[in-house]
Amino acid sequence: MEKLVQKIIPYMFLLCGIVFFTALYSQSKNDAAFIAFKETKYNFGSVKLGKVVKIEYYFENTGKTPLLISTIETTCGCTVADFPHYPIKPGDFGMILLTFNTKEKYDKQDRTVEVISNASNSPTKLHFKGVIMEEKSEKDK
């Protein structure tokens, strides 16, 4: 009987540890910030080569703690992101501005950026697409 108890005790500690950390992890996820975008996809249609396209993505912190965006990862230097560098309180709104320079971009463009934050749903992907039309020269008209 004593040997059985000695064998069971380590498993009991392991089980208690698993239950404790699972409860702790699920509680922190529920209490975290959550970034909810009004729209995550945008189609800017057809634009002329060289035009600068500005896209606004509006969001709300629907979580229970302040939201802090640390960075926005873009796929190339043609896209620049401007975002709040301060905490967004629960229930408050914010806006991310993406500026896409179409210089040296041709035909269909399909881009994705990632919003990195302390939100439980981070990273969050934002998507935009459109067509860049090359201006025709006088010879081509």
Q: What is the pLDDT of residues 1-19, one digit of tens each?
A: 677 667 776 666 666 556 5
Preceding omega of 123 cis (within 30 degrees of 0): yes
Asked whether the predicted pLDDT for residue 29 surpasses 70, the reply is no
* pLDDT band at 42; cut points 50, 70, 90: very high
Asked whether the predicted pLDDT for residue 26 surpasses 50, the reply is no
DSSP helix/strand/coil, 42:
strand
**Do residues 93 and 58 lie in contact, with contact meaning Cβ atoms separated by under 8 Å?**
yes
85 contact partners, CB below 8 Å, separation of at least 6: 69
Q: Which of 40, 53, 62 minimizes the C-alpha distance to 123?
A: 40
* pTM of the predicted model over 0.85: no
